Amino acid sequence: MAAAPKRRRSVQEPRSIACELPSGQAIARSLARHLHRGVGNAFILYANYKHYQRQTHRPHCGDLHRVFGEFALEMLGGVDDLAKRIHTISQGPPAHLLEAIDLAAVSTAAQGSTVRGMVEEADRNLLIMLKQLRDAAAIANAYDDRGTFDVTSSLVQVSERHNLWFRDILDTLHDWQRPPRS
C-alpha cells in the first residue's frame, strides 16, 4: 500500500520559519538582517529618486521627471513590503531615518550632479540593492521561507525593470550629449 502524498502548501500560505525550523530563530534573525538592510537601501533609493525628480524639471527632462516619480513610489511600496515581512519573521523594522541610513549599502544622492550623473548614480545604487535582495531571496529559498522569498523576489523584479530603464535612459542621454554638427 502506497503512502499518502504529503500535502503541499499553496503560495498563499506563507510560513514563519522561526516557528517551523529547529534553528528557525537564528535563520529568521539572519533573514531579518538582510531585510533590514533592504529597508535601508529601498528607503535611500526612494529619497534619491525624489531628489532626482526635483532636479529634472527642465523641458527636455519631463519624461525623466515622471520616471523618477514613478520609481520613487514603487520603491516606497518596497519599503513597506519589507517592513511587513520583518514583523512577520522577527522584530520590528528600522524605525528611524538615521538607522535606515546606517543599514543601507547604497549611497545618498550626490549634490550638484548632471542628469547623466544622477541616472548613473541611481543605476549603481540599484545594482548594489539587487545583489543584496538576491542574496536574501537565495537564503529564504534555501530554508523554504516562501513569504520572504516572494517579497524579495517581487522587489527584485521591480528593481530589474528600473535597471533596464536606466540603461535605456543612459543610451538616450548619450545621444543628447553629442556635440552639434558644424
Residue 62's pLDDT band (cuts 50, 70, 90) = confident
Q: How many CB atoms are closer than 10 A to CB 127? A: 14
> What is the pLDDT, as a whole number, of residue 67?
93
Separation of alpha carbons 72 and 66, rounded Å: 10
Q: What is the pLDDT of residues 81-118, one digit of tens each?
A: 998 998 888 777 777 878 878 889 999 999 988 888 99
pLDDT at 163: 95
Mean pLDDT, residues 31-45:
92
pLDDT at 60: 64
pLDDT tens digit sequence for 122-155? 999 999 999 999 999 999 999 899 999 999 999 9
pLDDT in tens, 9-23: 333 333 444 444 445
Separation CA 133–CA 130 (nearest Å):
5
* Whether 50 contacts 72, CB under 8 Å: yes
Q: Is the pTM of this model over 0.85?
A: no
Determine the Cα angle at 40 with ends 38 and 42, to 5°: 65
Domains of the chain and any CATH numbers: 23-176 (1.20.1260.10)
